[in-house]
Chains A and B, each alone.
Chain A
Amino acid sequence: MVSKTQVAPKKTVLVTGAAGALAMRVIARLNGRYNVIAVDFRHKVETDAGIPSYLVELHKRGFEDVFAEHTIDAVIHIGRVFAHEKTRMQRYNANVLGTRRLLELCRKYKVKQVIIHSTYFVYGASAYNPALLEEDAPLKASEVTQDLVDSVEVESLANIYLWKHPELNITILRPCNVLGPGVRNTMSILLGRRLAPVLIGFSPMMQFLHVDDMADAMILAFVANKPGIYNVAPDDYVPYQEAVRQCGCRRLPIPSIPPVLPKAISGALNWNAFFPPYLINYFKYPVIIDGQLFQRTFGWRPHRNLNDIFSYYRKQKLAAVIQQ
């Protein structure tokens, strides 16, 4: 219940993927200022008092009940099925059809703002990539592999809704590699390991962002409400193999020639969670994005530098050694 003394009623924000490290941080930042609803497809999230939590799949019927029960003002869509979690078909259903259904429901229930968490993977890793890709660069990920088709399609769906339904105020964020405590994406799992595969003779430039800075960026984008597409990345760059060293991993050299070999090795050893065949190109060629537009528009600056990010992974390994 909204108390009568309050001038404006609190907005209600639905956050998907609530079990994830990024969403948990976003919810913590929203809590208090907004009414938050947490949704996840993996498990029912344990939340603070006053935050309703649902276990629901976005593309299943039950999802609409959440919209029927609450008056939702804004949606922050973070939840995504990673490639190592389900089959390609299931992933397509959850990510693409789920996002479409989410946007349809937003329209039906007159949601006034949607933030969509995308990824820099959509640009695709190719030898011909110029550095500092801007938001209007072509999305060539589906050229690299079919396993990234869902990421690209989520984007194009969001884009269609962005111009067709301006009342939804859609903001698409494309962050670089997000790392930090609790993050379970491919790169974070990889750098958390003692032994990290590297392609012999290839060490592409990469950008890394601390999950706390990404959460801050999402909140800034949410509060300012300036619809559009934005890369989210710091102006600092490091080659992959250097990042591996800095995170305290030993390097496991993988033959890179002929180009089918690393894919075959990754496939044969079932490295889907941390060095999947479809991401091999991202460990070979750089995808460096230009975060200037986001930084200018929202006045955002990351507070944690590369060393802060890597030191978490170093300490994690040290702690494991001490425990033994």
Chain B
Amino acid sequence: MFNIGKFDWRQRAWKHLVTPEIEQLVADIPKPVGSFGYDPWGYNEDRFKIALGAAKWLYDHYFRVVVHGLENIPAQGRLLIVGNHSGQLPMDGVLVGVAAAVNPSGPRLARAMIERFFPTVPWLGNYMNALGCVVGDPANCGKMLDMDEAIIVFPEGVRGSGKPYKKRYQLQRFGNGFMRLAMAHHAPVVPVGVVGCEETMPTLVNAAPLAKLLGLPYVPLTPALLPLPTRVYIRFGKPMQFEQVATEAQVGACVDEVKNEVRQLIEQGLQERTSIF
């Protein structure tokens, strides 16, 4: 009774965004869901299709992504995609997710780990869950790897995404959590280097007191209100397998191996790039 006329935004969005190509891609993704199309974390196929339709447009026409090494993402099985984080808003996560979902050698649902405050935000929390995002809890990661899912991890976290423009393409400290998970669940690590997202929101400084007041990880002071249409280069490296080790120092050494790999992929991307836009 609250419908205004015949305008149904969801149906309209569906018609425009969910092309037969998107339908086919999502059908090919190896991802089991329950009788109402949901998984335990709230992922929903229908909402994912709409969002993928919109994100693919950004991927193709706004950021004009150039991607290499998609064949390195296995079509089946557990997987950690580990890359550099940048650009204030997590556009790199979105674009890596789209790259995995439209992979011609086997589309995957690559799930992003999100900050713990998201579930407390009305609508946004549920919506991000519906697109496959999950609170970055090791228990969640472990369960998903056991169910042979693919997970995107940015081990720099907010240290990477919130850094100012002058530190662009300098990798910040990597956390060890992802390596512990990869070892415990025998999951291969696919490194990824993202070039271009650093320039989407060049930031002079983080307004730390304001961020603290708002309970946010950072508030960038930036001339860009929306992510700028830079050209983005994504490079996936060869899958890396790690065996269980005894000490945290040894884990750290393995993390450094991945970090070096990511650094090289970024270097290659920077060499390939001829202009920012």
Contact = CB atoms under 8 A, between A and B. Distances in A.
Nearest to B121: A201
Size class of B's contact patch? 20 to 34
B125 interface: yes
B42 interface: yes
A46 interface: no
A286 B34 contact: no
Contact of A130 (B39, B120, B143): B143
A306 interface: yes
29 contacts: A127-B116, A127-B119, A127-B120, A128-B135, A128-B137, A130-B140, A131-B40, A131-B41, A131-B140, A131-B143, A132-B40, A132-B143, A199-B122, A201-B121, A201-B123, A202-B122, A202-B125, A202-B126, A205-B38, A205-B129, A237-B42, A238-B36, A238-B38, A239-B126, A246-B36, A257-B122, A286-B42, A288-B40, A290-B143
A285 B119 contact: yes
B116 A205 contact: no
Chain A CB count within 10 A is highest, among B36, B116, B134, for: B36
A239 B42 CA distance: 7
Interface in B111-138: 116-117, 119-123, 125-126, 129, 134-135, 137
Contacts of B123: 201
Chain B CB count within 10 A is highest, among A236, A242, A290, A305, for: A236
Contact of B34 (A137, A202, A237): A237
Interface in B46-85: none
Contact of A236 (B35, B42, B117, B137): B35
Nearest to A199: B122
Interface string A188-201: 00000000000111
B225 interface: no
B38 A237 contact: yes
B246 interface: no
Contacts of B116: 127-128
Contacts of A237: 34, 36, 38-40, 42
Given A130-B143, A202-B125, A203-B126, A239 B137 contact: no
Contact of A201 (B35, B41, B126, B137): B126
Interface in A38-52: none
B139 interface: yes
A145 B237 CA distance: 49
Is chain A's interface secondary structure helix, strand, loop, or mixed overall?
loop
B145 to A, nearest CB: 12
A142 interface: no
Given A236-B34, A257-B122, A130 B42 contact: no
Nearest to A305: B35
Contacts of B119: 127-128, 285
A256 interface: yes
Is chain B's interface secondary structure helix, strand, loop, or mixed overall?
loop
A243 B137 CA distance: 27
B34 A235 contact: yes
Chain B CB count within 10 A is highest, among A203, A246, A290, for: A203
Contacts of B125: 127, 201-202
Contacts of A305: 35
B115 to A, nearest CB: 11
A130 B36 contact: no
A242 B126 CA distance: 13
Contacts of A238: 34-36, 38
Contacts of B40: 131-132, 205, 237, 288
A311 to B, nearest CB: 13
A3 interface: no
A132 B140 CA distance: 8
Given A130-B139, A131-B143, A201 B122 contact: yes
Contacts of A131: 40-41, 134, 140, 143
Nearest to A131: B40
A307 interface: yes
Interface string A230-268: 000001111100100010000000001100000000000
Nearest to A246: B36
A31 B91 CA distance: 62
B143 A306 contact: no
A224 B74 CA distance: 42
4 tightest Cβ-Cβ pairs between the two chains A and B: A201-B122, A130-B139, A236-B34, A127-B119
Contacts of A236: 34-36
A246 B139 CA distance: 31
Contacts of A130: 135, 137, 139-140, 143
A287 to B, nearest CB: 11
A200 B121 CA distance: 11
Given A128-B137, A256-B122, A205 B35 contact: no
Interface in A103-141: 127-128, 130-132, 137
Given A127-B116, A130-B140, 20 more contacts: A128-B116, A128-B135, A130-B143, A131-B40, A131-B41, A131-B134, A132-B40, A137-B139, A199-B122, A201-B122, A201-B126, A205-B38, A205-B42, A235-B34, A237-B36, A237-B39, A239-B42, A288-B40, A288-B41, A306-B36
Nearest to A285: B119
Contacts of B126: 201-204, 239
A307 B35 contact: yes
A202 B125 CA distance: 8
A202 B123 CA distance: 6
